A = this chain, B = another copy of it.
Amino acid sequence: MSPLRFTAETSSNGVLERDFIVGEVPGVLWSPVSGSDHAPLVLMGHGGGLHKKTPALKARARDAVTTWGFTVVAIDAPGHGDRPRAAEDERARAEFRQAHATGDAERFEAVSVRYATSLAERAVPEWQATLDALQNLPEIGVEAPIGYGGGISLGTAIGVPLTAIEPRITAAIFGGGFFVYEALVEAARRITVPIQFLLPWDDEYVDRESTLGLFDAFASREKTLHANPGDHRTIRWIGVDNEFLARHLGRVGTSPA
């Protein structure tokens, strides 16, 4: 098993931010400066083409630390952020550009699905290795409850197959904003933990019905869909239950910091 090695550390406004590496995967861990004794651990995924410290992700992570005392972890997806691009990543990017330039919607969808499938296949074992290494840290251990904190698009394409095979994840936030494919729906059918699902109501590219089909597929007895107008880039999330992870990871009743 690859150990976790911390490579940088900063702190501001009560939040400790530590860069780390596990094997060849760079990640970042946010936690309260005051310590985090087996606090719930939330896994956050970034969108396609983005990286582990994308401003929106970072803001959500810091908020989860300061409001609930969570520990939050993000890693760069294969070929994203600080990671080198394999030949496959370069090819996929070139294909995206071409499909977009020619306005070929069918090809755009085919390229998206093929690339998301490949990224998820590579990212799932990386997340599992990261979890193994994090559980070796004394402040996390095997005691920390674990939730998947989203987000939409690539974060869901990776998070759904991860949650389907990873019993350590006991609650998850997923969402739309990307092309849903059959393997993902199959994985969703094997998921029984509580799910919060965020649907951008007006996505420019993605057929709404296919995303509703993904929500439908989760075998979870408790699952809630929240939809707001907008596409996955412009959407403002209003009226979403912000206590979802805290409730399921055992932090409701904790007084917000």
Interface residues of A (CB under 8 A from B): 196, 199, 201, 208, 212, 215-216, 221-229, 238-241, 244
**Contact across chains for B241 and A215 when beta carbons are under 8 A apart:** no
| A239 contact from B196, B221, B228, B229, Cβ within 8 A | B196
Which B residue's beta carbon lies closest to that of A237? Answer: B224
Say whether chain A's binding surface is mostly helix, strand, loop, or mixed.
Answer: mixed
Chain B residues closer than 8 Å to A239, beta-carbon distance: 196, 224, 226, 241, 244
Chain B residues closer than 8 Å to A221, beta-carbon distance: 229
Chain B residues closer than 8 Å to A216, beta-carbon distance: 201
| A241 contact from B199, B227, B229, B240, Cβ within 8 A | B240
CA distance A222 to B208 in the complex (A): 19
**Contact across chains for A224 and B228 when beta carbons are under 8 A apart:** yes
**Contact across chains for B224 and A226 when beta carbons are under 8 A apart:** yes
A196 to chain B, nearest CB (A): 6
A176 to chain B, nearest CB (A): 12
Chain B residues closer than 8 Å to A225, beta-carbon distance: 199, 201, 225-228
**Contact across chains for A226 and B229 when beta carbons are under 8 A apart:** no
A223 and B215 contact, Cβ closer than 8 Å, known pairs A196-B239, A240-B241 = no
Chain B residues closer than 8 Å to A201, beta-carbon distance: 216, 225
